[in-house]
């Protein structure tokens, strides 16, 4: 059984300095990161473009033992999951909002031997993911509008969903992490954890911190 009281800190490479990616990845792992989070954007589902499978594979080569948590903010994740799995992802998270065969995609991810997550945007009701909560390993609640880092944490729009997700998990004896992504720092880490989140994705507050180890420690203990 997974320990949902244990906080997992996942620095987001979207906020890293890619001109020194080797140093940034190693710094994150040496500073106590549990996972590395990779935000893949296609310019359609979100209004930004980030990177593709080759970038993920490069990160895998830099940190062979790291848990790579790949978040596909793309219109048709079903077409690309195998490329990202082959690139070295340990988890693939897909969004519930686009129009594609979600259940089949989750099944394909898990058949490939990696874990599967499903994500919802701040405005998306929790009911949209209910049918899949018994099939996934991670529920990602976006706490900002996806696409860009450095945004403010959306407490009122997202924390009730985190709390409800925890209640659904407990009531139905399900087993999935509750992850939050966007505007996470020590203050919002505590708010998120108090509502039921145990996986904290943090970009700006880790890679832009003067001392990443201290920043991660503060989020873990807040």
Indicate whether 153 belongs to any domain: yes
Residue in 23, 34, 39, 42 annotated catalytic: 39
Indicate whether 98 belongs to any domain: yes
The answer to whether residue 100 scores a pLDDT higher than 70 is yes
Q: Is 181 a catalytic residue?
A: yes
Give the pLDDT band of residue 5 (cuts 50, 70, 90). confident
Give the pLDDT band of residue 40 (cuts 50, 70, 90). very high
- Report the domain count for the chain: 1
What's the pLDDT at 149?
64
What's the pLDDT at 214?
98
Indicate whether 2 belongs to any domain: no
What's the pLDDT at 9?
98
Indicate whether 1 belongs to any domain: no
Indicate whether 197 belongs to any domain: yes
Q: By residue range, what is the domain housing residue 31?
A: 8-221
Residue in 69, 78, 137, 181 annotated catalytic: 181
Indicate whether 180 belongs to any domain: yes
Q: Is 39 a catalytic residue?
A: yes
Q: What is the CATH number of the domain that holds 74?
A: 3.20.20.70
Give the pLDDT band of residue 34 (cuts 50, 70, 90). very high
For residue range 54-97, what is the model confidence (pLDDT) as tens digits? Answer: 999 999 999 999 999 999 999 999 999 999 999 999 999 999 99
For residue range 142-183, what is the model confidence (pLDDT) as tens digits? Answer: 999 876 666 789 999 999 999 999 999 999 999 999 999 999
What's the pLDDT at 39?
96
For the chain, the three-class secondary structure string (H helix, E strand, C coil) is CCCCCCCEEEEEHHHCCHHHHHHHHHHHHHCCCCEEEEEEEECCCCCCECCCHHHHHHHHHHCCCCEEEEEEECCCHHHCHHHHHHCCCCEEEEECCCCCCHHHHHHHHHHCCCEEEEEECCCCCHHHCHHHCCCCCEEEEECCCCCCCCCCCCHHHHHHHHHHHHHHHHHCCCCCEEEEECCCCHHHHHHHHHHCCCEEEECHHHHCCCCHHHHHHHHHHC
Indicate whether 125 belongs to any domain: yes
Indicate whether 3 belongs to any domain: no
């Amino acid at each position: 059984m997974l320990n949902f009281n244990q906080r997992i800190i996942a620095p987001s490479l979207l906020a890293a300095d890619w001109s020194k990616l080797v140093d940034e990845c190693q710094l994150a792992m040496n500073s106590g990161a549990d996972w590395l989070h990779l935000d893949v954007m296609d310019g359609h589902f979100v209004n930004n473009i980030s990177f593709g499978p080759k970038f993920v594979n490069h990160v895998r080569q830099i940190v062979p033992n790291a848990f790579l948590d790949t978040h596909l903010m793309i219109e048709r994740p079903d077409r690309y999951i195998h490329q990202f799995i082959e690139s070295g992802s340990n988890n693939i998270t897909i969004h519930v909002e686009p129009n594609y065969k979600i259940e089949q995609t989750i099944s394909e991810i898990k058949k490939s031997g990696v874990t599967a997550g499903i994500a919802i945007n701040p405005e998306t009701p929790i009911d949209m993911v209910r049918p899949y909560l018994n099939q996934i390993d991670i529920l990602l609640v976006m706490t900002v509008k996806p696409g860009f880092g450095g945004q403010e944490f959306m407490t009122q729009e997202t924390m009730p969903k985190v709390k409800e997700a925890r209640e659904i998990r407990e009531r139905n004896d399900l087993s999935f992490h509750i992850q939050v992504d966007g505007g996470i720092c020590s203050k919002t880490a505590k708010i998120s954890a108090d509502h039921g989140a145990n996986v904290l994705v943090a970009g700006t507050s880790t890679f832009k911190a003067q001392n990443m180890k201290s920043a991660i420690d503060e989020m873990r203990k807040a």
